[in-house]
Structure 1
Amino acid sequence: MLRPPLAGPPVTASHVFERLVAASDRWRVGDRTFAPEFCIGHTRLLADVGRYLPRGSDGTIAGWSARLSAMLGGQAFGLVVDDYHVLDTPLWTRLSQFVCGLYAHTGLPGEQAKAALFLGNYHRTPFGLHRGRSSNFMFVVEGVKRIRAWPDAFFRGKEDLTNRLDYERYNAASVVLQGKPGEVIYWPSPYWHVGEDAGGLSVAISLALFMEAEPWTDVVLAVQDGLARRLRSRARRAALGPAATTRSLGALRSALADPALEQMLVAARLRHLTGHGFVRVPPAAPPRRLSDREIVRADATALIRWARAGRQAVCSANGLAFVVPFEAGLPRLLDSLSSGRAIRVGELLAAAQGRTGARRGPRTALRRVLERLLAFRALVVEPSEDTAG
């Protein structure tokens, strides 16, 4: 158990409810970017899921729970939302701040970081006892959360209990971790674990850190993406055979020789760094123009990094990335931002351009960089008299 490393839970129950209602409303009209796993007892529901998701009319998580209890005749239920942080930018920001201090000692996760939401009144984790590959920090948001855990060595040589519920005979060898709102439960990756009822409805966010590296994953994914694009562009309804094999090999050679492969690899590594190990991150905000009079500064919580890739520059912040033609003023622009000082956009661009003066091309390109960083939430626009009203 860890005493509150943050000033209270990373988010409130009312905040979680609002985010779930917004995502559930999108789900009900066909948006499947939100992937809720709703369980009744230990059975995952696959049909009519939308009926059981939160609605604004429920008012609160407690109100939603009361509606479900009536619908289900008192049966226990659970809602699990994997990659919940993608739906909740404020949560992702707070978790990023939390892991920054941790990574100073452990380094970035070799594979990924992700946060899942666990909400319900289930008696035990819907999918039963399991052993994950991640180290976990579970932030209790509401109610009381209980985790029962065993070291991996305990179950070696015993029957496989993965996703089973008949583990009680081994309870004496377990450790019980119980937390209240604002507290954090931690268990390392080798541990088997299961959530248990600690007295009704609970809300918790589990931050999972997959620390072991997956060698060459970024290379494989980059080549796979390039290969898929080439095969789609040559798609024909041809029978499998030598011709299809030749075509696929040709596409693979082209993908490996493509200069864009370097950009994709650089972008993947920068996203991993600036996204604090999270593979999926909240999407960019809608773009908007920045005028010369506006005052901007780098967000203190955001990492902004860039790297050359041939004649291009890859810029990244908050786990997102974009590619632009390299401009000589780009390093000066990003160096100025790294100072954390608030400065007018026009002054920032003029300083970055240096001797190129007021040439329109570079200035426009550098302004677009600032606008992309603003959409990535890496810049903050400060209020000023010139832009007020």
Structure 2
Amino acid sequence: MKSVALDQKFWKHFAKNIWEKQALALKNVKSGLLEMSAAEIFDLLVLYSDRCRKLNDPEGFKFYIDGFKAGPEDVLQVLPEKSDKSLLGYHQRMEAEFSDYCLVCDELLQVNLKKQHLLTDFTDELYRHVGFPNRFSEMGLYLGNYRQTPFGVHVDSCGVFSFPVVGTKNFRLWPAGYGEKHPALDRAFKYDKYKKDSVVIKAGPGDMVYWPSSAWHIAESDGSFSATWSLGVWVNQPHKEMFTDSLKDILSTKLGAKGDLPTTKFKSLHNKSGEVSELPQAYQDSLRTLQNLTSEELQEAFLKSWMKHISLQGFKTVPGVRLKLSYKSKIKLRSDRSLILWQQGVIKKNTYYFSFGGVLVESNSFPLLKLVQALNDRKAFVVGEFLKGKTAQADLKSLQTLADAGALSL
């Protein structure tokens, strides 16, 4: 069968006709996300599981038994181990204990930086055509012998792309608004009387399924083992919230301690007729603060907020990398796809740097700026080649902050 390429022609059609409008099922898709073997996925699972066991914290994992969510201590006991040798080996160990189980691992691809580009290759094209998510996207791996999604029929606030890796999955979908008209369907496991209004999409390894955020859905199987990637792109944060959040940041700074007062003093709440004719002094002062904001201050505040948002590359989290830098360290970007974002300040003429989700560095050092520009040119070099003179110590501290956020590798 001829493979389906996710090329520019596909994405243009997807953005115009499919995105947030209708479901889509494709066979034999050519995507890096489907090129990962079951063995590579198992290795990632063990790597992530080992980290959770070391920290005694199963964050990122969820485990369901017969539809019931297990507690954190129980989850640690059922994570994949190297001795399982494979996904199927893990399944055989779990199946011996549980007749119906589901293991979910969120953000698994981001455990291994060498595989992260497989995800960003996909999302970069998606974002380019439908827009950058105001909230985030998250990638999860679902595996087990569960016959139905453990939390029943539901609707998310995200559009979903599913890529089966092992086994066959059936996705039953209902149209937008169906659940609101039939509230008994919400979280249901028994829904025979509603099946006539649904469609079922079957998918196996090499296929891709998409459904919009408005679709009610549940995954079904015959109890055979399956493993499936699921990419959710959350679309429940409108632009007006992003805009007002940016404004709140600058107003919080400008108001200072007055903005933290828990009560508001007043002369009179209202007159005898109930008319409210005067704002309290705190409101009047805050209004003047708002009116006195310059266009330059607003532009800089919104730019910094936007940089902070996009520095996560559209994802919920990005793992840090532990590096201890010195002037002798030879460094490069952690990923050629993950630049250190920067902007020249409008007010103080300082430079602001962002890397991976709000890690802000502010500096007026020209050597640090040249170093960041060289990194973004995909060059590798010794730190001391750039950081010299009076600002060197402060620059090294700033660079360490960016390294702690995961911007660099040695």
User: Normalised by the shorter chain, which TM-score bucket?
Assistant: 0.7 to 0.9
Partner of 2:308: 271
> 1:343-382 maps to which residues of 2 (within 5 A)?
345=383, 347=385, 349=386, 358-359=388-389, 361-368=390-397, 372-373=401-402, 376=405, 378-379=407-408
Partner of 2:376: 338
Partner of 1:353: none
Moved more, 172-181 or 80-89: 80-89
Moved more, 52-61 or 323-332: 323-332
> 1:100-179 maps to which residues of 2 (within 5 A)?
100-179=124-203
Instruction: Please give the per-residue CA displacement for 1:21-59, whole angstroms capped at 9, x wherever unaligned.
Output: 344344445533614221111122226332222222222
Distance in 2 of aligned mates of 1:371 and 1:130: 44
Amino acid of the structure 2 residue aligned with 1:48: D
1:130 Cα shift? 0.6
Distance in 1 of aligned mates of 2:156 and 2:124: 23
Distance in 2 of aligned mates of 1:285 and 1:295: 13
Distance in 2 of aligned mates of 1:10 and 1:220: 43
- Is residue 2:17 matched to residue 1:17? no
Amino acid of the structure 2 residue aligned with 1:13: A
> 1:1-389 maps to which residues of 2 (within 5 A)?
1-2=25-26, 3-7=28-32, 9=34, 11-28=36-53, 31-32=56-57, 34-46=59-71, 48-72=74-98, 75-85=99-109, 87-197=111-221, 200-214=224-238, 215-216=240-241, 218-219=245-246, 269-282=306-319, 284-289=320-325, 291=327, 294=330, 296=332, 299-308=335-344, 313-319=351-357, 321-341=359-379, 345=383, 347=385, 349=386, 358-359=388-389, 361-368=390-397, 372-373=401-402, 376=405, 378-379=407-408
Instruction: Please give the per-residue CA displacement for 1:109-160, whole angstroms capped at 9, x wherever unaligned.
Output: 1121112221111001011111111111112222222211121144453334
TM-score, normalisation: structure 2: 0.71
Q: RMSD value over aligned CA atoms?
A: 4.2
Q: 8 Å contact 2:331–2:408 — kept in the other structure?
A: no
1:298 Cα shift? 7.6
Instruction: Please give the per-residue CA displacement for 1:81-133, whole angstroms capped at 9, x wherever unaligned.
Output: 34445544445432122111111111111121112221111001011111111
| Number of residue equivalences | 354
Distance in 2 of aligned mates of 1:149 and 1:362: 60
1:245 Cα shift? 5.2
Q: Give identity over the alignment, percent.
A: 27
1:202 Cα shift? 1.1
Instruction: Please give the per-residue CA displacement for 1:255-298, whole angstroms capped at 9, x wherever unaligned.
Output: xx9xxxx999866532321222213222x211232556847468
Report SS of the residue matched to 1:152.
coil
Instruction: Please give the per-residue CA displacement for 1:63-98, whole angstroms capped at 9, x wherever unaligned.
Output: 1211122223xx111112344455444454321221
| Cα separation, partners in 2 of 1:191 and 1:293, compared to 1, 3 Å | closer
- Structure 1 residue runs of 5 or longer lacking an equivalent are 235-242, 247-252, 351-357, 382-389
TM-score, normalisation: structure 1: 0.74
Instruction: Please give the per-residue CA displacement for 1:292-331, whole angstroms capped at 9, x wherever unaligned.
Output: 6847468421132113566554322344623233223444
Q: 8 Å contact 2:48–2:111 — kept in the other structure?
A: yes
